[in-house]
Structure 1
């Protein structure tokens, strides 16, 4: 089994994440029946290891059945023991080499947390937008994110609605005030962002 070759050939990886183990297993089964060759069961799924174990039994040893949201070597060990044939991490994770299992690894966020970050600066926020933050909330529900870069009033509202701890705002708020610009306009912009932070319409 070569994960990279499979992904290159099929260009899709189904990610199963849910609160109902039976429904998650049905989903894996249905995806396989529909020709989705690579399926990842996130470890945030209820009773994820049992889902992986049962799916492996049903789909056989050749199925591309992986475990996602692997955040530690201990997670990896449990997932491989349950039958995962590849691992997907949301960020950098050390200690996965001994398992001899293909790894699709995320980057940066876990490294920052390991180095003592109290919150994560999501920069440039404009690159992925509020949708990127929404996607990060599933594997990192407890991590406080602060999007920075290209955050106007509407984007700020969208980020906050999607669970951002706060937003870092530069020129859409400050404008040219720090270069001697009109302070009344700065006050007006500040009022807009205050309303946004309070959950009101920009």
Structure 2
């Protein structure tokens, strides 16, 4: 893919379904649909199902069928271009990887999927952006230095849209938006035991708290 220059417009990308992306990873697959339902009902309408989650295909198909354009459903932990073919056929609209692989980016664009590759350093972030990322997944965000790190990186790279992910808690997600992120990705701090143990009440409480915090 041809490298793209830094855009001159001041318009910022926002995730199609809002500033919070719920990352569903692990569990047994038994509670996938219930977890998605509670998240969407609570206002978290961007759902990423990772390829190492049992029944991720069923979850994507179910969410697309139930919510249509009312939720953005994507596939995560994409390590091979072929995984995008299956996700796109199921109706996914975006794809996330922990790394930047131009071949995955090419296939994502061919399949009409928004591409969110992972990067950590300024060099990696710019490389991912120039390879056509819709936004760059800064990962693992908390371990890299949290909002302070993000603010420092975006000072010279303010043309790059970033979605920090990794170790972000419900109560500090808003700090990442204040530091310049266009959205935040949350996994276990949001989902908790819901995928494995079915704790939907706890999930609903955290999701509603997250949505309220990000709306301020």
**TM score, norm. by length of structure 2:** 0.46
Return the TM-score normalized by structure 1: 0.49
- If you compute each CA radius of gyration, which structure gives the higher value, 1 or 2? 1
Q: Relative contact order (C-alpha < 8 Å, sep 6+): which is higher?
A: 2
